[in-house]
Structure formats: C-alpha cells, structure tokens
C-alpha cells in the first residue's frame, strides 16, 4: 500500500450560518492548514498516486485568498470543508484534517 500526505496552507475568509448567536457568523479569516492523506495499492503510469501539484491545484488554487462561501454551496465549517476536500480527491483520499487555528482542527475520515 502506498500513501502520500500533502500539507496545504491557505489564507481564506468565511462566515458560518448558525442557529445560535456567534461571532463566527461574521465574515472572518483564517490561515488554514489542510493535511490530505491519499493511499493506493497501485501507482499510476508516472509512479505516483497523484501528483502533488495536482492536489495543490484542486484545493489551494480553489480556496486561497477567497471567501469560501463564494466557492461552495454549503455552510463552510471546518468539518464540512474536510469532507468536501476528501471528495474532491476521490477515490484516493481517505482522510483530511482542516486546521483553522492552532487550537481548532476538524478531520474527515472516509470509511471503507
């Protein structure tokens, strides 16, 4: 089994649609750290699971210096973003960690 991990750092803003009062309902930004984990039993013709630059293009280029609410059609919580990113890198991605601050990280782990 082959495995790769790619860390992405992006600066992006978002606001959350919540059913309770929270400052997170206001537009605010984070310096996000996103770790993606991919695995495969076989490598492609280039000897990779997926080129690191393709991972970067699919994720970092989509979100960096953007208002995430303008990019996706769901409430952009860290949890929802982790699942979205995992789905974007399917079928190889099995885990995504989305850190929005030093103390706050959400993970999505795809169950087989």
Structure tokens at 78: 């860290």
Q: Does the pTM of the predicted model rise above 0.85?
A: yes
More confident residue, 111 or 23: 23
| pLDDT tens, residue by residue, 20-31 | 999 999 999 999
pLDDT of residue 111: 84
d(CA 7, CA 39): 15
| pLDDT tens, residue by residue, 55-100 | 999 999 999 999 999 999 999 999 999 999 999 999 999 999 999 9
Domains located in the chain, CATH noted: 2-109 (3.30.479.10)
């Amino acid at each position: 089994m082959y495995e790769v991990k790619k860390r992405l750092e992006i600066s992006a803003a978002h606001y959350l649609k919540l059913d309770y009062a929270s400052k997170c309902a206001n537009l605010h930004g984070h310096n996000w750290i996103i770790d993606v984990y991919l695995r495969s039993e076989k490598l492609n013709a280039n000897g990779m699971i997926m080129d690191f630059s393709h991972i970067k293009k699919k994720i970092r280029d989509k979100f960096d210096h953007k208002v995430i609410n303008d990019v996706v059609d769901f409430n952009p919580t860290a949890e929802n973003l982790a699942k979205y990113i995992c789905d974007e890198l399917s079928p190889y991605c099995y885990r995504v960690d989305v850190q929005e601050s030093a103390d706050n990280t959400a993970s999505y782990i795809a169950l087989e």
